[in-house]
Structure 1
Amino acid sequence: MKHFITAIILTAFLTSCNSSDKTTTTTEATETTASTPKAPNKNLQPIDTDEALIATALMAVPEAGRANCKIIGYNMAGEFVTLKEGDNEFIVLADDPKKDGFSAACYHKDLEPFMARGRALKAEGKKHNDIFDIREAEMTAGDLTIPSGATLHIYYGAKTLYDAETSKVDGAQLRYVVYMPWATAESTGLPANPVAPNHPWIMNPGTHRAHIMISPLADDATE
């Protein structure tokens, strides 16, 4: 009888040990997996050629429109040129290699007169507020137009390295602007200030430059 009881106790002890070992092993495996650092992207390199400017600018364009879009902007020599010819509805302003960070903007071709006017005024040395006031007056007079609903896609980030295989810029995100001249919070039902990331709101309400802003979530950055 004593041998029988001893056998039962020994079996229970071994079962308990095995169960404990499995729990410990599972926990350690989970902790190891959670703490494993992400491997650095070895394909990252500087945007230092006109070809790289074109490739990264295309990331601002909806994929279906990339082949036939037009790309303009400063080349590596500092000249404002057409980097890529195109005839669809998209025009892309490539990143300026002389500025910090990265920013490429894709917009509907009907926005080009408005965008070109802004570039011209800036070239004349006009400041942001002056450019705003001048274009406001020209829009009011009917000398300049912005099609309601025309969209601007901004691909931007603080870093200036890109993946040569995918053309994606390290950490870059997309922000969207939908132009609605003279619209207000009351006419659209949108808040006049951001409520939360990725929520639409109306900026510059009641002006020629009124537009819906849609900014990305913080964790939407490209890896």
Structure 2
Amino acid sequence: MKNLICLFALSGFLFACNAPESQEAEAATTTQPEESPVTYQPIDTDEALMATALMAAPEASREGAKVIGYNMAGEFVTFKEGTNEFICLVDNPNQEGFNAACYHRSLEPFMARGRELRAEGKNANEIFDIREKEVKAGKLDMGETGATLHIYYGPEAQYDPATGEVDQAQYRYVVYMPFATAASTGLPERPVEPHHPWIMNPGTHRAHIMITPLTEGE
């Protein structure tokens, strides 16, 4: 009889111990509501061009950044004036994919000269050579050493109107160090591993440190 009573008592104890675990397991497997998928829209208005260009700037600096570039009518305009150190360049709507940029104001003479030469029909090599000569001659200002260019780019000109984020876009950063070399910086002339910093165009006016961050999932 005593054994039977002990057996009942033990069964009750085991049930009491297992019940919370079963409830926790059930709660853990409860289906969570799924997030609504983002509906991307074409970047086909001036407002969309400006919103996506500002994504290239650091978040805290977007409100005060100046925005310039080609509008949907093909005119080079100022979309909005700025109050801080950044100038954002909108994606060119006449080119495939998406490519917006944001750079330090001190780089504007260098950037503007490049746009001017491109408008004249000069190719990339010609633009490089002309600006190299002009910088060395003191005719063209390269801006502050260490001035940065932030690039926001991707394969699709589609964006989320709620956030300004562009479909599949990622960031790349350029730090301009005119005439710097691997020896003067300690950086390699090729990335040692993917996403490692390296120096491009060393020893020239356009010497710069390339930094490509990891993307989500890498």
Q: In structure 2, do the counterparts of structure 1 residues 196 and 212 end up closer, same or farther at CA, with 3 Å as the change threshold?
A: same
Equivalent position to 1:202, from 178, 186, 199: 199
Residue 168 of structure 1 aligns with an amino acid whose one-letter code is: E
Residue 200 of structure 1 aligns with an amino acid whose one-letter code is: P
4+ runs deviating over 4 angstroms: none
Alignment of 1:1-223 (within 5 A): 41-147=37-143, 148-219=145-216
* Deviations, residues 65-92 of structure 1 (Å, cap 9, x unaligned): 1111110001111111001111211101
Q: In structure 2, do the counterparts of structure 1 residues 190 and 171 end up closer, same or farther at CA, with 3 Å as the change threshold?
A: same
The equivalent residue for 1:4 is none
Residue 61 of structure 2 aligns with an amino acid whose one-letter code is: G
Extract unaligned runs of 5+ from structure 2. 1-24
Residue 186 of structure 1 aligns with an amino acid whose one-letter code is: A
* Deviations, residues 119-143 of structure 1 (Å, cap 9, x unaligned): 0000000010000000000011011
Residue 207 of structure 2 aligns with an amino acid whose one-letter code is: A
Residue 216 of structure 2 aligns with an amino acid whose one-letter code is: D
Distance 1:44 1:132 in 2: 37
Distance 2:214 2:179 in 1: 27
Residue 174 of structure 2 aligns with an amino acid whose one-letter code is: V
TM, length-normalised to structure 1: 0.81
Offset of residue 217 of structure 1: 2.0
Q: Secondary structure at the match of 1:73?
A: strand
Offset of residue 216 of structure 1: 2.4
Offset of residue 63 of structure 1: 1.3
Report the more deviating stretch, 127-136 or 78-87. 78-87
* Deviations, residues 22-54 of structure 1 (Å, cap 9, x unaligned): xxxx9xx99xxxxxxx97734311111111111
RMSD, aligned α-carbons: 3.4
Bigger helix share: 1
